[in-house]
Amino acid sequence: MRNSYFYGVTSVLSLCLVVHPAFAQVTLANPILFVTQMPITRDFASIGSTFANHRGDMHLAGRGGDLYIRYPNGTLRNLTQEAGFGSIGLQGANAISVRDPALHFSGTKAVFSMVIGAPPQFQYNDYYWQLYDVTGFGVGQTVSISKVPNQPHDFNNVQPAYLSDGNLVFASDRPRSGARHLYPQQDEYESEATPTGLWKLVPASGALTLLEHSPSGSFDPIVDRYGRVVFTRWDHLQRDQQADQPGNPFANFNWTSEAANAPIVALSEVFPEPRVAAQGSIVNGHRLNQFFPWTIHQDGTGEEMLNHIGRHEMQAYFDRSFNNDPNLFEFNPVGRPNPRALENIFYMIEDPTIAGRYVGIDAPEFGTHGAGQIVAFGGAPSVNPDLMIVDYLTPRVTRGTEPAANHSGHYRNPLVMSNGALIAAHAPEQGEAGNLGTVVSPNPKYKFRLQRMALNGANEYVPVEALTNGISKTISYYDPDNLVSYSAPLWELSPVEVRASTVPPAPVTTLAAPELAAFAAESVEASVFEADLRARNLALIVVRDATTRDRADKQQPYNLRVPGGRQTLGAAGRIYDISHFQLFQGDQVRGIGLSAQAPQGQRGRRVLAQAMHEPSLGELNIPNPTGPAGSVAIASDGSIAAFVPVQRALSWQSTAPNGDAVVRERFWMTLQPGEIRTCDGCHGANAANQTGAPASTQSPLALRQLLARWKMLRNGEFRNGFE
């Protein structure tokens, strides 16, 4: 789906943004904030992992790290120690771990996450990451650290950033509804605890808003110079890989609803297609497991992959959906403008020296503490995703764990400074992460140090200068059973340049001309309609022409026809009729670990796609008695309009007249109260659709039909079950 905010013709200027000059090899011009961290050698669901890294448990986060500032002359200050936090030796009530510093636009304050406390031996306590403000870190100033008021106090709040209005966006594991019996939300892959998405906090009032609901987690938001919230999201919309094992060895089950007293029922799963195709099936198995770059506006509207970039522009391979149609084939990137694949993206930051350039890490999901290859790409709002070019700043081998002559180790937390200097946390280890010591006396294979990077003779960035002499600390703590002892350099992570920057605008979603024409034709004020949506806590999805698809997508059917209406054919051969648009909502109803000893299963639940059933929809949508559950009819011109739930992950598919899926969405999407989300097609065209024509600009008939119904409902002509 494409939001109108990102439409636009690529200009000569925007094309220049994909040119990637070398970083200047200069001494640091400004101070940097960074954190030290007790090394945790485990690389599964721990603080250094790519996912489920948000928990404060002792064995996952350790204790003993601090918040530091390094001044340009190399002087170091331990800010948390100066403010009275943290300790040396045996870690107790004042023990801390810190992470994720983010600077305010003024350059005079920052926000970070800190967890406080360590237990006595054999005592398990719940510890939660909380947000803290820090000021007074200039030369000669007195540092002050205070807890951010009014944040969720018994959940993990991590990876904060400042919004343009000075309020905060951050990742949290607070359940979507706040209901404690749903805690923690479990991811779609390993049923591990995960952040539930991105949240906005107004500290002064405590107003808390779920900006983006993510079934498997969202990570590391930043606000770029254009005012977009840019972040990494784990996209894993596939069937539960644990529940579909023969014999159900993980004892998975379903709840009938998200209610605390919901009955437990047997397994069932309806969307998307199975991970492994049944013998003789014409439908191929579907698996998706990627960490992609995403954006939202600062009010949570307009969620989509950065500039609408996707698998076709980034990935190296994925399969077709049907195996009996010669028009569909397995994807490979031969001939696309971007010659370099990007498998995942972590720790994205914006290059302050080149507008629209983003730098991050492509790393495997396991085995490297989230460290890998430094990559960059141009993604200003005006750049068409077809023309977004990935640049490899370190050798491709640094993504993996196979030794090679040009493998310079693994990298994470890149920082491009305002003078062009490239900084990164670097571990020389080429192989997988591990422990060279023991559980009680760890010696990590990965030893992260902050390094200044520079180009070598092969035009590849390599570490040339450590920013510290190593920051060692003598630490011991109970994890809680074992006494863990460590006396060696700590990891150095998450550098942030201390400088003032321009406060970015806060863009909003606006209706485009085709949708405005539909409102005008039905004599409905868009602002009145949007206010009514907000009052009902609903949003609206509009598709101009579901028969059109991006020209690069030959993996799902693209010869599409509404029976008796619009058709768009990209090739000779089989034509697929589509009559219904079926919507699914992410309900937290999958359980795991059911047994006589655990009659409610493990704590928490996983999100599962269920046919849309939100009670607040009432009779707003036009009834579709011949369609599958949770569906609306596709209009004769191929358009779609449907009222949908808000602040809950949604997905959808176009189906044949008999309800069989034809074109399945592969991603979750969240909408906000009052949002009208429009796209030209499914999947929307970047430069052209399957016929070579540009994106649809027709005024959608389905929107006019829904607006006419809305007016009648408002006028009281339909009363059964409405208001």
Residues 308/6, Cβ–Cβ less than 8 Å: yes
What are the structural domain ranges in the chain?
4-237+272-497, 513-714
Count the residues in the chain: 723
In tens, the pLDDT along 616-626 reads: 898 899 999 99
pLDDT of residue 223: 98
pLDDT of residue 613: 96
Strands 472-478 and 89-90: parallel
Residues 664/602, Cβ–Cβ less than 8 Å: no
pLDDT of residue 666: 86
Place domain 4-237+272-497 in its CATH homologous superfamily. Answer: TolB, C-terminal domain (2.120.10.30)
532 Cβ contact partners less than 8 Å away, ≥ 6 residues apart: 710, 714
pLDDT of residue 716: 79
Cα–Cα dist 451/444, whole Å: 18
pLDDT of residue 682: 86
Cα-based distances in Å from 263 to 251, 260, 404, 596, 600:
16, 9, 55, 16, 10
Confidence of residue 78 (pLDDT cuts 50, 70, 90): very high
Mean pLDDT of 147-166: 98
In tens, the pLDDT along 83-101 reads: 999 999 999 999 999 999 9
In 3-state terms, what secondary structure has residue 531? helix
Mean pLDDT of 45-61: 96
Cα-based distances in Å from 696 to 445, 543, 681, 704, 706:
54, 10, 7, 17, 20
pLDDT of residue 251: 96
pLDDT of residue 210: 98
Q: What's the token pair of residue 658? A: 């008999």
Higher pLDDT, 164 or 26: 164
Establish whether the linkage from the previous residue to 480 is cis, with ω within 30° of 0.
yes
Confidence of residue 476 (pLDDT cuts 50, 70, 90): very high
Least confident of 73-82, 288-297, 505-514, 709-718: 709-718
Task: Determine how many CB atoms are found less than 10 A away from the CB of residue 543.
Answer: 29
Q: What's the token pair of residue 73? A: 């002359």
Q: Is residue 423 over pLDDT 80?
A: yes
pLDDT of residue 616: 85
Mean pLDDT of the chain, nearest integer: 94
Confidence of residue 169 (pLDDT cuts 50, 70, 90): very high
Q: Is residue 469 over pLDDT 70?
A: yes
Cα-based distances in Å from 100 to 228, 386, 493:
19, 32, 9
pLDDT of residue 245: 87
pLDDT of residue 715: 85
Q: Is residue 720 over pLDDT 70?
A: no
Task: Locate the DSSP E strands across 639-688.
Answer: 640-645, 650-655, 661-664, 676-679
pLDDT of residue 9: 28
Q: Could you tell me which of 123, 110, 127 has the C-alpha nearest to residue 62?
A: 127
Sign of CA dihedral 609, 637, 383, 396: positive
Q: 358 - beta bridge partners?
A: 350, 377
Residues 672/647, Cβ–Cβ less than 8 Å: yes
Cα–Cα dist 646/530, whole Å: 13
Q: Is residue 497 over pLDDT 50?
A: yes
